[in-house]
Amino acid sequence: MQNRNSPPGRKTAGLATQTTSPAKLAGAIKTFAAASSLLRSPDVLQSGAGVSENQQVDDDRMTLFHLDGEKHRKRRAAVAPFFTLRAIKSRYEPIMETTANRIVAGIAAEKNVRLDKLAFQYSVAVAAEVLGLDHSDLPAITRRIEDTINTDPTSNRPVKPESDEAVRKFFEHDVLPAIDARRSDRREDVISRMLDAGASDDLIHTEVRSYAFAGMVTTRELIVMCTWYMIDNPELADQFRSAGQQDQLAIVDEVLRLEPIVGYIRRTAAADIDLPGHGLVPAGTSLTIDVRKANTDEAVTGPCPHLIDAHRVASRTPGSSYMSFGDGPHRCPGAQLGLAEARVFLDRLLRLPNLRFTKEPKMAWFKPIASYVFLEAELTCD
């Protein structure tokens, strides 16, 4: 199922390199083997997404993303059941299907709609269920979450600080009522498990906000990017529409391989580490993994790494996804969920007649998670 006419992974490569310092690019880890070995090493510390601004913070106030070692392992194990394939099928797929059907019917009726906004609303609906954020007005909670994301281009923090008005509003309207409801009536969600572990309201609030960029923004970008690839390449869109679920997932995974949303993953060596093909890295070194390079390393992709090929062996192994979701103890717990979300939404969207962008998608670079973000993507259909 190779698609020779598909555009090579070039939509975001320029943005990623222009916005990253030449020194970082030159010293980055570029092979899949070295990247995987680094992320699986017990001798590394997380140093992405504003970690330096968190270094004064007590471990008990840190998000899952920022924790390391035993505390990380424990918090992660508590939420792992919410990310299994079984949970995706039984709990989240019905939400995906209902929400995607409603949004896509709205696109057909309204025309000239903002795909980026609608895809965010859709990913909020699913992540809210994972977290335990009850809501009756999806557009309103989506807006409040969107307002908590830090758009300051000079900052390394993905979300705004607690003192910010938007963050306070989200806490009062959405997070606190969910915590209060679960204090007396625990459910199957992240907030309930954090209460079990004795987490404070503040920590729960911080963790919930970290999912806004970890699970909601990322899924939005995946949906918009896949739509862009399919609109550019009708042959690929046909292939997607006629494929079964596994092959549809493989196509989404291939687009993500070529256009990884998290472009660079960062770690600090806590001890000397010997990386295959890279050599000895002394303790204290800051390391950057170039995800685009690792994802197009022919040693793992096979020939023609810049072509979309849904039959690439690794991309068809559930949960492989090359380096797009990282590796080792911090590997994205929502990997299967994010892929499934994109697949379900695209399966509905791509059946609209003559789907096309009325404004070419506009992107910017989101420094805190070294990712591209869509600022605008307006589309219509007949």
Site residues (vs ligand HEM, CB under 6 A): 48, 64-65, 76, 127, 130, 211, 214-215, 218-219, 222, 261-262, 265, 324-326, 330, 332-334, 337-338
Nearest to ligand HEM of 113, 265 (CB atom): 265
| Residue whose CB is nearest to ligand HEM in the complex, by number | 334
AA identity, residue 161: P
Which residue type occupies 240? F
Q: Which residue, 159 or 380, is less far from ligand HEM as judged by CB?
A: 159
Q: From the CB of 353, what's the least distance to ligand HEM, in Å?
A: 27
Closest distance between ligand HEM and the C-beta of residue 316, in Å? 17
The Cα angle at residue 104 between residues 245 and 216, in degrees rounded to 5: 75
Cβ atoms within 10 Å, residue 238: 13
Q: Which CB, 141 or 332, lies closer to ligand HEM?
A: 332
Q: How far is the CB of 62 from ligand HEM (least distance, A)?
A: 10
Q: For residue 321, what are its two tokens?
A: 């996804």
Q: At its nearest, how many Å lie between ligand HEM and the CB of residue 136?
A: 21
Cα distance from N-terminal residue to C-terminal residue, the chain:
29
Kindly state the smallest distance separating residue 274's Cβ from ligand HEM, in Å. Answer: 20
The beta-strand segments (E) located in the chain are 2-3, 44-46, 113-114, 264-269, 273-275, 279-281, 286-290, 308-309, 356-366, 371-380
Closest to ligand HEM by CB, 28 vs 222, is 222
Minimum gap (Å) between residue 37 Cβ and ligand HEM: 14
Dig out the tokens for 101 from the structure.
């059907």
Query: What are the phi and psi torsion angles at 63 (to 5°)?
Result: -75, 165
Alpha carbon of residue 216 to chain centroid: 7
**For residues 77 and 81, what is the distance between their CA atoms, to the nearest angstrom?**
8
Nearer to ligand HEM, 215 or 305 (CB): 215
Give the nearer residue to ligand HEM in terms of CB position, either 134 or 381: 134
Residue 184 CB, shortest distance to ligand HEM, in Å, is: 25
Rounded Cα distance between 262 and 231, Å, is: 23
Residue 367 to residue 372: CA distance in whole angstroms? 9
The residue among 75 and 182 lying less far from ligand HEM, judged by its C-beta, is 75
